[in-house]
């Protein structure tokens, strides 16, 4: 049996990149694999000090978003990291298998270190250890993550391998990255620069969020950057125009996409028409998800129930791993 695990930090704003790059794949995986865990990494978000008044809203929104996008508590355990004390317990033990040097060499850490200098907290340094604990605690085989998390995943494999080697066991599973397609369709910023859609972009108009109103979605797409138009038949697309076509591929009917592709290739395309069509199709796609998020957010007791059930399953699985790890390490003194 293959175990699947993934998660994301509760940042409050989920955009199309999070949806098509992550959540939509989780939803697919819960049908294709029997043992799935999807969680909200709230402990990870403390590395960048959170506001106690805002954090609960973000966690609630993350849970509502997971469910609104189609995660089904009957098919997968959906839980909050801090509800599962087995994760920090394993984190402590795994920390003994992480080298300070390799943690300092981690790209995400180096970036933060450059920005923050000496005020950096130790939680940031050990971020990959906590992430490894998230994964190894369920002995997960497959972890759907994007490119930006590959190094962290590699570190999780290293910690597990070192543990296994030291104790001459194969108890911890070495997790592998998982993706349905070789090349993910890139969700690009609407500003046409070719960068990825991002929630930390200082212009909110460059991303479509799952909680955007119809008006906001239409306006953002109408204002999206295009280019001067194809100068010759079958011209290569600029980043700006490719980004719009990528979105169309994800939310519009295949016929619609084909029609605009043909118009682009014979230079008869009018970007205004493309943006209006894409806007409509985007509203049809995102609108129901947004409404479902709102509906679920108005039912905190339901969300609490789902989180409790998810945590129970996750704790059971986590406990089994911890029992094994403690036994292997000799933490069993008075037997
Ligand atoms: N670090 C991941 C991110 O920033 C979130 C995360 C935490 C995660 N623990 C994980 C992802 C375990 C996959 C598996 O997106």
pLDDT digits (tens, 9 = 90+) for 237-296: 999 999 999 999 999 999 999 999 999 999 999 999 999 999 999 999 999 999 999 999
The residue whose CB lies within 8 Å of the most ligand 1 atoms, and thus the one to mutate among 3, 4, 8, is: 8
Closest residue by CA, ligand 1 atom 2: 8
Tell me how crowded residue 4 is: count the other CB atoms within 10 A of its CB: 24
pLDDT band of residue 315 (cuts 50, 70, 90) is: very high
User: Is the shortest distance between the CB of 135 and ligand 1 below 6 Å?
Assistant: yes
Closest residue by CA, ligand 1 atom 13: 6
Active site members: 112, 196, 199
Find out whether 281 and 248 touch, Cβ atoms under 8 Å: yes
Beta-bridge mates of residue 196: 188
User: Is the shortest distance between the CB of 143 and ligand 1 below 6 Å?
Assistant: yes
Positive or negative: CA dihedral 92, 80, 18, 1: positive
Closest CA relative to residue 161, chosen from 123, 128, 132, 138: 132
pLDDT value of residue 161:
98
> Taking the model in full, what pTM does it have?
0.94
User: Is the shortest distance between the CB of 175 and ligand 1 below 6 Å?
Assistant: no
């Amino acid at each position: 049996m293959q175990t699947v695990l993934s998660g994301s930090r509760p940042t409050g704003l989920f955009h199309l990149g999070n949806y098509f790059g992550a959540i939509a794949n989780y939803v697919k995986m819960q049908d294709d694999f029997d043992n799935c865990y999807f969680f909200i990494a709230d402990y990870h978000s403390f590395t960048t000090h959170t506001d106690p008044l805002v954090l609960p809203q973000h966690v609630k929104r993350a849970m509502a978003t997971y469910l609104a996008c189609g995660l089904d508590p009957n098919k997968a355990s959906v839980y909050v990291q801090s509800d599962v004390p087995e994760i920090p317990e394993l984190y402590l033990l795994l920390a003994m298998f992480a080298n300070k040097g390799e943690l300092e060499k981690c790209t995400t850490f180096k970036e933060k270190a450059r920005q923050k200098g000496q005020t950096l907290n130790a939680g940031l340094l050990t971020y990959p250890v906590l992430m490894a604990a998230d994964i190894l605690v369920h002995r997960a085989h497959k972890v759907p993550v994007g490119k930006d998390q590959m190094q962290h995943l590699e570190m999780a494999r290293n910690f597990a391998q070192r543990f296994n080697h030291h104790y001459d066991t194969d108890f911890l599973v070495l997790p592998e990255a998982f993706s349905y397609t070789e090349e993910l369709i890139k969700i690009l910023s609407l500003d046409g620069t070719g960068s990825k859609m991002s929630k930390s972009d200082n212009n909110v108009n460059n991303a479509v969020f799952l909680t955007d109103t119809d008006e906001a979605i239409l306006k953002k797409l109408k204002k999206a950057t295009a280019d001067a138009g194809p100068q010759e038949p079958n011209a290569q697309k600029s980043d700006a125009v490719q980004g719009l076509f990528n979105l169309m591929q994800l939310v519009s009917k295949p016929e619609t996409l084909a029609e605009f592709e043909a118009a682009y290739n014979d230079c008869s395309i009018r970007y205004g028409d493309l943006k209006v069509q894409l806007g409509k199709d985007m509203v049809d796609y995102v609108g129901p998800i947004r409404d479902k998020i709102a509906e679920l957010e108005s039912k905190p007791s339901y969300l609490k129930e789902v989180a409790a059930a998810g945590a129970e399953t996750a704790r059971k699985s986590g406990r089994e791993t911890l029992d094994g790890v403690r036994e292997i390490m000799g933490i069993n003194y008075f037997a």
